[in-house]
């Protein structure tokens, strides 16, 4: 239809020009440019969806990630200089009617991003017999603009500029075609097929193998937190996880009997070292032909209900390994196979025998299930529920959710799924498999929050109670260094729960042979493990796990020895921070915040931090600078990936015959971001930001700094997260700026908070008057503390006790 030019608020001055052809819709516009149909839909005043397709072709696109719907936002539309211009109070979008390229500006005219006209956005492609397209779109970025995201990569990069990366799910890389910029915008390329991301001097582009249309979302948040809020609105908000999941977890590959599993928990209780989670890894089901039977057929696990009850009796919780595949002797396999819901490509394990190396004369026959099928997800849950959940299991360790794909052949991608070829939907497999378990558990229980530890993730998975870990990474300093930017970029995609195997999964290079378990006695590994654990204490899940060697604290020595003491010190610090961590979790759920915060999130004006890959904020208060280089031992260059690791190729490469004095003092350089003052967490020394400082370190100390204006609650000394009430918390207040904090509490492990059963205690520090005000308590829940005490502590040692009964009270220093 014809539209005349409009003059309206929110756009720069618009002159009357020749009218262009376009159709206004309830949410945006439709137009055809150069044989390409273009539709622009406003989802919010600051977010638009762009869909392009060959002219006149019909298609149906159902997003797997997106849960939001477009909104009627009161946009204006007109034409200017050969462009169709749309505007809201937040965003201005222009469609060039000669090239079909879109550009984005803020409402006041500041340029954000522009498409680069594409010569061939659609290339015909035969996708396993279905006529479709390769789809491509390029954008033009400014030279000094930094971008983040793409999921979790192992490239060690903070900013993702200047690379070519094929985005496809793998064991140690979890991909999502999402980026966000230092200019305050985000871009989600809504495609699930293998996608080539390119950033060079001429373009920043996405090129996907399969797409009936080109489909992406542009969002303007103003800053990194704003972009995270936008992408969570688009793809799903984050539910609260149980308090206990933020405690310490112990695991290894693998505990071989229920007595061993329960014994680990008992040993921690005897030692008085805090513990909340124990994980049972694979083969509790028996041999590989029974792979993932979701049933305890291994005679070493002859009474699983008692195993779980014994763990619960010691006030701990348990997670168990479940997979995306099934052995041919299992009940789920038979039912799924009868319905054609299993894939034919090879997956882990390759052999049906447990001998090493795998005996391929006895192939396992294990097959991956079709997680895209609602019926298959129902079958999956049926056996999981009957075989394990009803026994009282607390959480799921969903392994191989990428899924494992051995001996890849191009024709494997032709495999038919419920939603088309595997190629078409390949990258969304973890989203569908994890979502299936979450949705089914929520449907049958509201008393126990869903918690899923999983090896792969895709944008939208944050809505499923999932914490993604970085896969079977090798035990090396270089790998440890790469985990920091991997977790930060994953978090910048809007998925806040991330962790990694403390100590690295493959530790065999620190053993004399791959299975003799000597690594905990090897000083080279001891130093690496302690530094990795210190980093892990400041991630959303503190979980020790790996192959080749045990990881329990008592394997590293005994109390009074430097390695043991350093491990225990960091576990206890983690528990003292639980009120801070759990309140931060509420900020994540309720106010779209983020646990692991790249420094650019809080200090965007300090360009020195834009590409900093070795420091970050944990919540809004803590600056964490983990020690990422060996200080006491030679740093061996070890290259291990998940394939060579499982081939046991990593044995005996790091000689332990070195003499080490772990009591020596070392040092590390730390950059303190500009714009604020900082306090050394350990000494309370105050210093100004915008400079690099040298911090003395010992094996049990890493550089930790607190931003001026922070209020940090510290909890009681406990053996498990809920052992003691938070009735006498210490509030550390760090002067130098005004600050605030909200202490959040609820019943800790059910969904009553969704019905309003929780409390918030707002706290505010006025720096000029040196006054801390505890505001009136908001909300209530069953069993809440009616009154309590706080001990307010300043860095100079002054402290005051405050009695609090839910009413506003203040204390002045």
Q: Is the predicted pLDDT of residue 214 greater than 80, yes or no?
A: yes
Same domain, 180 and 321: no
Q: Is the predicted pLDDT of residue 656 greater than 80, yes or no?
A: no
Tokens, residue 613: 């890959």
Q: What is the CATH number of the domain that holds 393?
A: 3.20.20.80
Same domain, 114 and 180: yes
Beta bridge partners of 569: none
Residue at 561 is within a domain: no
Cβ neighbours of residue 124 closer than 8 Å, sequence gap 6 or more: 131, 132, 133
Residue at 435 is within a domain: yes
Q: Is the predicted pLDDT of residue 382 greater than 70, yes or no?
A: yes
The CA R_g of the chain, rounded to the nearest whole Å, is 27
Residue at 530 is within a domain: no
pLDDT of residue 386: 98
What's the pLDDT tens digit per position in 287-320?
999 999 999 999 999 999 999 999 999 999 999 9
Mean confidence (pLDDT) of the chain: 94
Do residues 101 and 116 touch, judged by C-beta distance below 8 A?
A: yes
Q: Is the predicted pLDDT of residue 514 greater than 90, yes or no?
A: no
Angle at which helix 562-576 crosses helix 578-591, to 10 degrees, equals 50
List C-alpha distances in Å: 56 to 25, 227, 233, 304: 18, 34, 31, 59
Q: Is the predicted pLDDT of residue 717 greater than 70, yes or no?
A: yes
Task: Look up 749 and say whether it is catalytic.
Answer: no
pLDDT of residue 652: 64
399, 548, 680, 760: the catalytic one is 399
Share of the chain above pLDDT 70, in %: 96
pLDDT of residue 650: 67
| Helices within 141-257 (DSSP H only) | 224-235
Q: Is the predicted pLDDT of residue 12 greater than 70, yes or no?
A: no
List C-alpha distances in Å: 648 to 326, 366, 474, 548, 576: 24, 21, 12, 9, 39
Cβ neighbours of residue 62 closer than 8 Å, sequence gap 6 or more: none
The Cα–Cα gap between 459 and 492 comes to 11
Same domain, 399 and 285: yes
Mean of the pLDDT values across residues 714-726?
Answer: 98
Do residues 381 and 436 touch, judged by C-beta distance below 8 A?
A: yes
pLDDT of residue 20: 58
Same domain, 89 and 198: yes
What's the pLDDT tens digit per position in 518-562?
889 999 999 999 999 999 999 999 999 999 999 999 999 999 999
Mean of the pLDDT values across residues 148-176?
Answer: 98
93, 98, 100, 103 alpha-carbon torsion, rounded to 10°: -30
Residue at 206 is within a domain: yes
Among candidate residues 201, 235, 269, the one where a domain is terminated? 235
What's the pLDDT tens digit per position in 13-26?
333 333 458 999 99
DSSP letter for each residue of 140-170: E--TT--EEEEEE-SS--SS--S-EEEE---
pLDDT of residue 636: 75
Q: List the beta strands (DSSP E) in 464-575.
A: 466-469, 498-499, 542-544
Same domain, 374 and 311: yes
209, 212, 281, 402: the catalytic one is 402
Among candidate residues 450, 480, 513, the one where a domain is terminated? 450
Same domain, 80 and 142: yes
90, 209, 472, 587: the catalytic one is 472
Tokens, residue 203: 């373009």
The Cα–Cα gap between 650 and 641 comes to 9
Element (H, E) at 601: helix 599-602
Same domain, 110 and 184: yes
Q: What is the CATH number of the domain that holds 223?
A: 2.60.40.1760
What's the pLDDT tens digit per position in 109-141?
999 999 999 889 999 999 999 999 999 999 999
The Cα–Cα gap between 173 and 804 comes to 48
Cβ neighbours of residue 618 closer than 8 Å, sequence gap 6 or more: 538, 539, 595, 596, 597, 624
Residue at 748 is within a domain: yes
pLDDT of residue 19: 41
Residue at 766 is within a domain: yes
How many structural domains are present in the chain? Answer: 3
Do residues 612 and 158 touch, judged by C-beta distance below 8 A?
A: yes
Range of weakest confidence among 229-243, 459-473, 646-660, 717-731: 646-660
Cis-peptide, bond into residue 628, ω within 30° of zero:
no
The Cα–Cα gap between 292 and 643 comes to 21
pLDDT of residue 8: 31
Mean of the pLDDT values across residues 156-166?
Answer: 98
Q: What is the CATH number of the domain that holds 766?
A: 2.60.40.1180
List C-alpha distances in Å: 366 to 74, 290, 293, 385, 511: 54, 9, 11, 21, 31
Residue at 7 is within a domain: no
pLDDT of residue 9: 34
Same domain, 75 and 127: yes
Task: Look up 738 and say whether it is catalytic.
Answer: no
What's the pLDDT tens digit per position in 174-198?
999 999 999 999 999 999 999 999 9
Q: Is the predicted pLDDT of residue 422 greater than 80, yes or no?
A: yes
pLDDT of residue 119: 83
pLDDT of residue 11: 34
Q: Is the predicted pLDDT of residue 89 greater than 80, yes or no?
A: yes
The single-letter DSSP state of residue 2 is: B
Burial zone of 695 (CB within 10 Å; 0-12 exposed, 13-18 middle, 19+ buried): buried
Same domain, 174 and 305: no
Tokens, residue 108: 């006041």
List C-alpha distances in Å: 461 to 1, 430, 499: 41, 8, 15
Ramachandran region, residue 122 (left: φ > 0; alpha: ψ -120 to 50; beta: rest): beta
Same domain, 729 and 798: yes
The Cα–Cα gap between 627 and 698 comes to 10
The Cα–Cα gap between 179 and 148 comes to 5
The Cα–Cα gap between 561 and 564 comes to 6
Q: How confident is the model at residue 446 (pLDDT cuts 50, 70, 90)?
A: very high
- The residue count of the chain comes to 813
Among candidate residues 184, 202, 235, the one where a domain is terminated? 235
Tokens, residue 767: 């720096």
Same domain, 114 and 230: yes
Q: List the beta strands (DSSP E) in 285-426.
A: 317-322, 325-326, 367-368, 395-398, 416-417, 420-421
Residue at 64 is within a domain: yes
Do residues 620 and 763 touch, judged by C-beta distance below 8 A?
A: no
pLDDT of residue 391: 98
DSSP letter for each residue of 396-463: EEE---S----S--GGGGG-EETTEEHHHHGGGHHHHHHHHHHHHHHHH-SSS---EEES---TTGGG
Do residues 169 and 185 touch, judged by C-beta distance below 8 A?
A: no
State the residue for tokens 């207040």. Answer: 733
Do residues 747 and 785 touch, judged by C-beta distance below 8 A?
A: no
Range of the domain at 226: 23-235
Cβ neighbours of residue 307 closer than 8 Å, sequence gap 6 or more: 258, 261, 262, 301, 318
CA 150 to chain centre: 12
Task: Look up 472 and say whether it is catalytic.
Answer: yes
Kindly report the number of other CB atoms within 10 A of residue 549's CB atom: 26
CA angle, corner 267, sides to 262 and 270, nearest 5? Answer: 130
Same domain, 135 and 72: yes
Q: How confident is the model at residue 515 (pLDDT cuts 50, 70, 90)?
A: low
> At 542, is the secondary structure helix, strand, or coil?
strand
Exposure string of 106-138, with b = 16+ CB inside 10 Å and e = fewer, is: bbeeeebbbbbebeebbeebebbeeebbbbbbb
């Amino acid at each position: 239809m014809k539209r005349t030019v409009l003059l309206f608020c929110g756009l720069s001055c618009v002159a009357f020009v020749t009218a262009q052809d376009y159709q206004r819709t309830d949410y945006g516009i439709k137009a055809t440019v150069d044989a390409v149909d273009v539709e622009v839909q406003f989802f919010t005043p600051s977010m638009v969806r762009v869909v392009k397709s060959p002219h006149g072709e019909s298609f149906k696109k159902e997003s797997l990630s997106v849960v939001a719907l477009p909104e009627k936002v009161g946009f204006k539309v007109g034409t200017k200089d050969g462009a169709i211009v749309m505007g809201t109070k937040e965003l201005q979008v222009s469609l060039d009617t000669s090239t079909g390229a879109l550009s984005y500006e803020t409402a006041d005219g500041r340029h954000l991003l522009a498409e680069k006209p594409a010569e061939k956005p659609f290339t015909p492609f035969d996708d396993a017999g279905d006529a479709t397209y390769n789809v491509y779109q390029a954008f033009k970025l400014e030279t000094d603009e930094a971008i983040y995201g793409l999921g979790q990569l192992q490239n060690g990069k903070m900013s993702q500029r200047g690379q070519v990366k094929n985005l496809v799910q793998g064991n140690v890389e979890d991909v999502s075609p999402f980026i966000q910029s230092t200019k305050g915008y985000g871009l989600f390329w809504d495609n699930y097929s293998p996608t080539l991301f390119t950033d060079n001097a001429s373009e920043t582009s996405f090129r996907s193998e399969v797409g009936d249309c080109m489909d992406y979302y542009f969002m303007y948040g103003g800053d990194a937190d704003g972009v995270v809020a936008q992408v969570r609105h688009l793809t799903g908000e984050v539910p609260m996880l149980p308090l206990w999941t933020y405690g310490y977890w112990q695991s290894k590959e693998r505990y071989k009997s229920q007595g061993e599993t329960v014994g680990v928990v008992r040993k921690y209780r005897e030692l008085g070292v805090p513990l909340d989670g124990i994980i049972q890894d694979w083969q509790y089901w028996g041999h590989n032909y029974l792979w993932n039977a979701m049933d305890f057929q291994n005679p070493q696990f002859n009474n699983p209900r008692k195993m779980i009850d014994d763990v619960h009796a010691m006030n701990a919780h348990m997670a168990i390994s479940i997979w995306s595949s099934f052995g041919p002797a299992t009940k789920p396999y038979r039912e799924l196979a009868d319905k054609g819901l299993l894939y034919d490509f090879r997956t882990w394990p390759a052999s049906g025998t447990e001998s090493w190396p795998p005996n391929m004369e006895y192939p396992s026959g294990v097959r991956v299930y079709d997680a895209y099928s609602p019926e298959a997800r129902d079958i999956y849950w049926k056996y999981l529920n009957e075989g394990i959940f009803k026994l009282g299991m607390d959480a799921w360790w969903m392994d191989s959710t990428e899924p494992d794909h051995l001996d890849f052949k191009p024709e494997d991608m032709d495999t038919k799924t419920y939603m088309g070829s595997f190629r078409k939907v390949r990258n969304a497999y973890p989203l569908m498999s994890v979502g299936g378990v979450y949705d089914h558990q929520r449907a049958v229980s509201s008393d126990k929050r869903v918690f899923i530890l999983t090896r792969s993730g895709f944008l939208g998975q944050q809505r499923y109670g999932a914490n993604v870990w970085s896969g079977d990474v090798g035990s090396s300093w270089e790998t440890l260094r790469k985990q920091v930017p991997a977790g930060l970029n994953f978090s910048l995609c809007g998925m806040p729960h991330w962790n990694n195997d403390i100590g690295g999964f493959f530790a065999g290079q620190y053993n004399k042979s791959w299975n003799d378990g000597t690594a905990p006695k090897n000083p080279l590994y001891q130093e690496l493990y302690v530094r990795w654990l210190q980093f892990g204490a400041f991630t959303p899940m503190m979980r020790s796990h790996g192959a080749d060697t045990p990881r329990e604290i008592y394997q590293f020595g005994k109390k009074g020895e430097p390695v043991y003491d350093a491990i225990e010190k960091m576990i206890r610090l983690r528990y003292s921070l639980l009120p801070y961590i759990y309140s931060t979790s509420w900020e994540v759920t309720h106010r779209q915040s983020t646990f692991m915060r790249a420094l650019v999130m809080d200090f965007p004006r300090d360009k020195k931090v834009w590409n900093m890959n070795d420091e970050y904020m944990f919540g809004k208060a803590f600056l964490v600078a983990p020690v990422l280089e060996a200080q006491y031992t030679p740093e061996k260059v070890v290259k291990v990936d998940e394939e060579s690791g499982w081939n046991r190729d990593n044995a005996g490469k790091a000689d332990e015959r070195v003499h080490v004095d772990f009591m020596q003092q070392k040092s590390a350089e730390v950059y303190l971001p500009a714009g604020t003052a900082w306090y050394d967490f350990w000494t309370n020394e105050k210093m100004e930001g915008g400079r690099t400082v040298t911090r003395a370190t010992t094996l049990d100390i890493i550089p930790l700094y607190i931003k001026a204006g922070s209020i940090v609650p510290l909890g009681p000394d406990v053996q498990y997260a809920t052992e003691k009430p938070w009735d006498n918390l210490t509030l550390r207040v760090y002067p130098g700026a005004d600050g605030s904090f909200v202490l959040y509490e609820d019943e800790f492990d059910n969904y009553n908070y969704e019905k309003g059963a929780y409390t918030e205690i707002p706290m505010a520090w006025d720096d000029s008057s040196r006054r801390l005000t505890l505001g009136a308590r908001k909300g209530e829940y069953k069993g809440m503390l009616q009154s309590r005490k706080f001990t307010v502590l300043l860095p100079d040692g002054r402290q005051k006790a405050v009695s609090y009964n839910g009413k506003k009270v203040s204390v002045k220093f």
